[in-house]
């Protein structure tokens, strides 16, 4: 038994080298294809320039993309088990932070794009007996990887997808992966009526997943509550769909340094602190990754992140300054 | 396989088991903590290194896999995969194959044949297996059990739902005093219910929050430990009747048998968010080192003795070691090395444990010389005690063979005022040289304390070139003079003032 094992010790040193894509913090990927599946939507395919396999991802994962000067997160739509490429679909948002416009106007095939590793925040529930997916508009993107996993593992799945006429994306994926379990809507009334029914005919053990514009998500959650769904069965992702509103102006008091920073409407607390030379580690700047968490010693925050748990938000002793704010004219105290 | 023959004639232990042993105590006191850290950062120990990868194969590979197979054959409850965990089981298998392929590329090979088709080869076990991902008919065994027969790690899989984690699958054959069969399906918080202190201290809640946020491709690890009698991996609740009574009988064996049979048991647990299913895998790798072997690594011996002696009773009770941990601490204390130098009247008398800080001092100068981790450890302990008693300065130097370091030391002595206590730790050459310098500056013995961490060298005064050199030798030995090239005998005769041993031409007068 001596020989094979004796060799391994030496190999450990060299074996865990930097050749692995799945131990990097960011990846430099090359754009291999750009398609326009519908008006205002660009589907972008990315691959490793050296052809290496990319880090796998859980269905519903998103990719943080450095789009020129901006940073946005987009749902991955491909198969995450052994990905040779990543695919994202980007809706052009005219009044967003500029990231989607950059990806539409500046990016070309052959360009290099810096992305983070995929992050999972909207995963299928393994023990669900059935998965009911509700998608609105570009909110179809995380559902595509959910449908892929459902097909692989033969999960019972049903999807309702509503979109504006001629603006549907991934229609072929949905048809191939969900077949007769997919229902498509281009009229609001028909969708709302069918949603009400669908929410009332699910077997016990079903979990509900919602992604789409904020107003649509709220409406689906309200309808589910009305139909008696407990919150623990309802999963939604607002992220990447539409920009958070600009918010009201407020003030931050830095108790350690005795300074005060004004945060105007349209500027994040993180940006305002940075403008005053206060460096805070950060990554996604969208309330997802948790990097920029800072302690809070006073004031009533309006939490808008997806990182802190409900208990942590209630405790009010931490805040994600990249997205969270305070009410108009209020003051937050931070021990910095 | 190379073995260390140990002088008392005990069971030989493969050298790689000492070199790769993950000694778990960073300080002289152990308490529960959320001690998670990023994985794959190698840890250098006084005996070697561990922790470069999330899977670890050592010379016990075949033996431990044989034991696992026998346990699984005898007791099916050590393996469970609840129906919703089938994807996570496949994900675990593929993830571990990828890790093995990356860490042991000479022996382990995973090849994608296109789409979901794969080829797996394990050259150590002579396995070649084609399989289709998620197709159970293409594997000879359930995927979790299949891969568990090729890694030394125990595997537990956690499902995340409703903001909680549940242990819903696993292959656990080497449980340390718990029952996997009973715990399957329980939540993470329920499983840790019986552990004392942790609820009040929030340790488990924090770990739970951390795990829920864990992302793929960012593995973390932690260690846990206990004592186990004999090299017995399976100390599960199921077979308590086989190993439980040893805790009583071990108290009545002689020291030699005690040191051979009582093992420090360390679990290195890797925590990984699986990249496909989103489940969390706990890899639990168990390492066992008998106390008589542990005692051969001096910093481990001293540290483990301190931890065992200090461990609060409720924690010792929960770990199941309350009956014999005092004996284990005493065993380790008694195993202190006899001073490696002959102690004739001409020899320096070095303390065998670091001398305590003389807290009647008003200020403290701690001098740590060299890179020995023990030197760093001893000097850190001095500093933390001294800081409570007065102004403390820590001076860290590489070697007093360097002019620069001698100058820095002389300057530090120059700056010291009456009331200062000077404490020096390092190898014998550096300590003797530093003490001589201090005496030259006017320090008296009451102001000096020293601890030698390494007796491999000494300062030698050559009677012929009338100069002092650092040599790697022992008193009574013969060494070539770096100055005059004569063969010199080093006499058991030292001068604190000179800071050296006397040496003169060997054989001249015999």
Same topology between domain A130-237 and domain A250-334 = no
> Residue A232: its chain B contacts at CB < 8 A?
162-163
A127, closest residue in chain B (CA to CA)? B84
Cβ of A15 and B162 within 8 Å? Answer: no
C-alpha–C-alpha distance, residues B261 and B292, integer Å: 9
Find all residues with CB under 8 Å of B307, minimum gap 6, and list them. Answer: B25, B28, B29, B30
How much is the pLDDT for B74?
96
C-alpha–C-alpha distance, residues B475 and B28, integer Å: 33
Residue A23 touches partner B, C-beta closer than 8 Å: yes
How much is the pLDDT for B13?
66
User: Of B222, B260, B261, B265, which residue is the catalytic one?
Assistant: B222
- Interface A–B counts its CB contacts (< 8 A) at 118
Which residues of chain A from 242 to 261 reach within 8 Å of chain B, CB to CB? none
Q: Find which of A10, A12, A151, A306 to mutate to test the B interface (most B CBs within 10 Å of its CB).
A: A12
The topology under which CATH files domain A130-237 is: Rossmann fold (3.40.50)
Closest Cα in chain B, distance from residue A19 (Å): 9
Which CATH architecture group holds A23-116? Beta Barrel (2.40)
| Partner residue opposite B134 with nearest CB, options A5, A22, A152 | A152
How much is the pLDDT for A282?
77
Closest Cα in chain B, distance from residue A67 (Å): 23
Q: Find which of A2, A6, A57, A58 to mutate to test the B interface (most B CBs within 10 Å of its CB).
A: A58
Question: Residue A87 pairs with which residues in a beta bridge?
Answer: A45
> Residue B100: its chain A contacts at CB < 8 A?
none
How many C-beta atoms surround the C-beta of residue A197 within 10 A? 9
C-alpha–C-alpha distance, residues B288 and B260, integer Å: 12
Q: Find which of A126, A127, A142, A291 to mutate to test the B interface (most B CBs within 10 Å of its CB).
A: A126
> Residue B86: its chain A contacts at CB < 8 A?
153
Distance, first Cα to last Cα, chain A = 59
CB B424 within 8 A of CB B450: yes
Q: Tell me if residue B222 is catalytic.
A: yes
Residue ranges per structural domain of chain A:
23-116, 130-237, 250-334
Cβ of A80 and B276 within 8 Å? Answer: yes
**What b/e readout covers A211-222, taking b as 16+ CB neighbours within 10 angstroms?**
bbeeebbebbbe
> Residue B215: its chain A contacts at CB < 8 A?
117, 119-120
The topology under which CATH files domain A250-334 is: Ubiquitin-like (UB roll) (3.10.20)
* SS percent in chain A: helix, strand, coil, step 5: 25, 30, 45
Which residues of chain A from 72 to 91 reach within 8 Å of chain B, CB to CB? 80-82
Tens-digit pLDDT profile for chain A (336 aa)? Answer: 233 333 333 333 333 335 788 988 889 999 999 999 998 999 999 999 999 999 999 999 999 888 877 778 899 999 999 999 999 999 998 877 788 999 999 999 999 999 989 989 899 999 999 999 999 999 999 999 999 999 999 999 999 999 999 889 999 999 999 988 999 999 999 999 999 999 999 998 899 999 999 899 999 999 999 999 999 899 998 755 444 667 889 999 999 999 999 999 878 999 999 999 999 987 667 776 678 899 999 999 999 887 788 888 989 899 999 989 999 999 999 998
Cβ of B215 and A117 within 8 Å? Answer: yes
Whether the complex's predicted ipTM surpasses the cut of 0.90? no
Find all residues with CB under 8 Å of B61, minimum gap 6, and list them. Answer: A1, A5, B124, B152
Ordered domains of chain B (ranges, CATH) = 3-82+142-331 (no CATH), 338-452 (3.40.50.80), 457-510 (2.20.28)
- What values do phi and psi take at B96, rounded to 5? -70, -35
Cβ of A9 and B217 within 8 Å? Answer: no
Closest Cα in chain B, distance from residue A117 (Å): 8
Tens-digit pLDDT profile for chain B (510 aa)? Answer: 333 333 344 455 677 899 999 999 988 999 887 788 889 989 988 888 999 999 999 999 999 999 999 999 999 999 999 999 999 999 999 999 999 999 999 999 999 999 999 999 999 999 999 999 999 999 999 999 999 999 999 999 999 998 899 999 999 999 999 999 999 999 998 888 778 777 666 778 778 888 888 899 999 999 999 999 999 999 999 999 999 999 999 999 999 999 999 999 999 999 999 999 999 999 999 999 999 999 998 889 999 999 999 999 999 999 999 999 999 999 999 998 764 444 456 778 888 888 889 888 889 999 999 988 889 989 998 998 899 889 999 999 999 999 999 999 999 998 888 888 999 999 999 999 999 998 888 788 888 999 999 888 999 999 888 899 999 888 888 888 999 988 888 888 888 888 888 888 886 443
């Amino acid at each position: 038994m001596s020989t094979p094992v004796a060799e391994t010790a030496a190999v450990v040193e060299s074996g865990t080298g930097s050749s692995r894509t799945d131990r990097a913090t960011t990846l430099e990927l090359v754009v291999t294809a750009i398609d326009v599946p519908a008006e205002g939507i660009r589907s972008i395919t990315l691959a490793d320039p050296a052809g290496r396999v990319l880090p796998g991802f859980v269905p519903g994962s998103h990719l943080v993309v450095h789009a020129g000067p901006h940073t946005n997160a987009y749902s991955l739509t491909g198969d995450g088990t052994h990905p040779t490429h990543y695919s994202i679909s980007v809706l052009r948002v005219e009044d967003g932070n500029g990231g989607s416009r950059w990806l539409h106007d500046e990016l070309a095939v052959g360009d290099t794009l810096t992305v983070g590793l995929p992050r999972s925040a909207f995963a299928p529930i393994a023990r669900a007996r059935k998965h009911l997916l509700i998608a609105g508009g570009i909110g179809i993107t995380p559902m595509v990887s959910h449908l892929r996993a459902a097909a692989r593992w033969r999960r019972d799945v049903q999807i309702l997808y509503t979109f504006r006429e001629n603006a549907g994306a991934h229609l072929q994926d949905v048809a191939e992966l969900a077949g007769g379990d997919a229902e498509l809507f281009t009229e609001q009334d028909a969708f709302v009526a069918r949603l009400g029914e669908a929410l009332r005919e699910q077997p016990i053990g079903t979990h509900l997943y919602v992604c789409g514009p904020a107003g649509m998500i709220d409406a689906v959650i309200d309808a589910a509550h009305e139909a008696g769904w407990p919150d623990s069965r309802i999963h939604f992702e607002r992220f990447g769909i539409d920009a958070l509103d600009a918010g009201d102006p407020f003030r931050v008091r830095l108790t350690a340094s005795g300074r005060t920073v004004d945060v105007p409407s349209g500027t994040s607390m993180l940006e305002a602190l940075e403008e005053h030379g206060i460096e805070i580690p950060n990554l996604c700047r969208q309330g997802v990754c948790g990097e920029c968490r800072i302690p809070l010693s006073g004031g009533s925050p309006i939490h808008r992140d997806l990182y802190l748990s409900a208990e942590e938000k209630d405790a009010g002793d931490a805040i994600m300054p990249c997205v969270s704010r305070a009410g108009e004219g209020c003051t937050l105290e931070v021990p910095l | 396989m190379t073995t260390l023959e140990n002088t008392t004639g005990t069971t030989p232990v493969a050298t790689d088991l000492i070199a790769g042993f993950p000694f778990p105590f960073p300080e002289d006191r152990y308490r529960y903590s959320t001690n998670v850290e990023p994985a794959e950062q190698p840890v250098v120990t006084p005996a070697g290194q561990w922790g470069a990868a999330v899977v670890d194969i050592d010379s016990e590979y075949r033996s431990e896999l044989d034991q696992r197979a026998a346990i699984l054959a005898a007791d099916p409850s050590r393996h469970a995969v609840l129906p919703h965990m089938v994807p996570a089981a496949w994900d675990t298998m593929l993830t571990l194959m990828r890790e093995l392929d990356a860490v042991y590329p000479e022996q382990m090979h995973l090849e994608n044949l296109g789409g979901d088709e794969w080829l797996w080869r394990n050259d150590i076990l002579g396995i070649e297996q084609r399989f289709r991902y998620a197709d159970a008919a293409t594997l000879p065994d359930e995927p979790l059990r299949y891969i568990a027969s090729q890694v030394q790690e125990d595997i537990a899989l956690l499902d995340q739902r409703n903001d909680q984690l549940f242990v819903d699958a696993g292959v656990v054959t080497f449980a340390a005093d718990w029952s996997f069969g009973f715990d399957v399906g329980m939540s993470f918080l329920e499983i840790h219910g019986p552990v004392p202190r942790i609820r009040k201290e929030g340790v488990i809640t924090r770990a739970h929050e951390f795990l829920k946020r864990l992302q793929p491709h960012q593995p973390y690890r932690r260690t846990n430990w206990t004592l186990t009698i004999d090299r017995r991996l399976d100390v599960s609740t199921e077979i308590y009747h086989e190993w439980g009574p040893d805790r009583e009988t071990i108290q009545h064996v002689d020291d030699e048998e005690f040191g051979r049979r009582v093992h420090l048991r360390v679990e290195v647990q890797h925590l990984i968010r699986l990249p496909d299913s989103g489940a969390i895998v706990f890899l639990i790798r168990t390492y066992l080192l008998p106390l008589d072997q542990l005692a051969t690594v001096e910093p481990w011996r001293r540290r483990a003795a301190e931890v065992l002696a200090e461990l609060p009773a409720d924690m010792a009770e929960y770990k199941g070691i309350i009956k014999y941990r005092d004996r284990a601490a005493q065993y380790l204390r008694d195993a202190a090395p006899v001073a490696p130098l002959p102690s004739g009247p001409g020899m320096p008398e070095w303390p065998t444990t670091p001398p305590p800080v003389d807290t009647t001092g008003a200020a403290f100068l701690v001098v740590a010389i060299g890179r020995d981790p023990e030197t760093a450890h001893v000097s850190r302990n001095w500093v933390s005690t001294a800081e409570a008693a007065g102004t403390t300065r820590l001076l860290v130097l590489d070697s007093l063979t360097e002019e620069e370091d001698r100058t820095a030391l002389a300057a530090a002595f120059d700056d010291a005022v009456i009331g200062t206590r000077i404490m020096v730790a390092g190898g014998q050459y550096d300590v003797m040289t530093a003490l001589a310098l201090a005496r030259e500056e006017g320090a008296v013995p009451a102001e000096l304390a020293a601890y030698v961490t390494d007796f491999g060298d000494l300062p030698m005064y050559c009677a012929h070139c009338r100069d002092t050199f650092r040599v790697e030798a022992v008193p009574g030995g013969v060494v070539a003079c770096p100055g005059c090239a004569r063969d010199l005998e080093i006499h058991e005769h030292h001068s604190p003032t000179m800071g050296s041993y006397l040496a003169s031409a060997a054989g001249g007068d015999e």
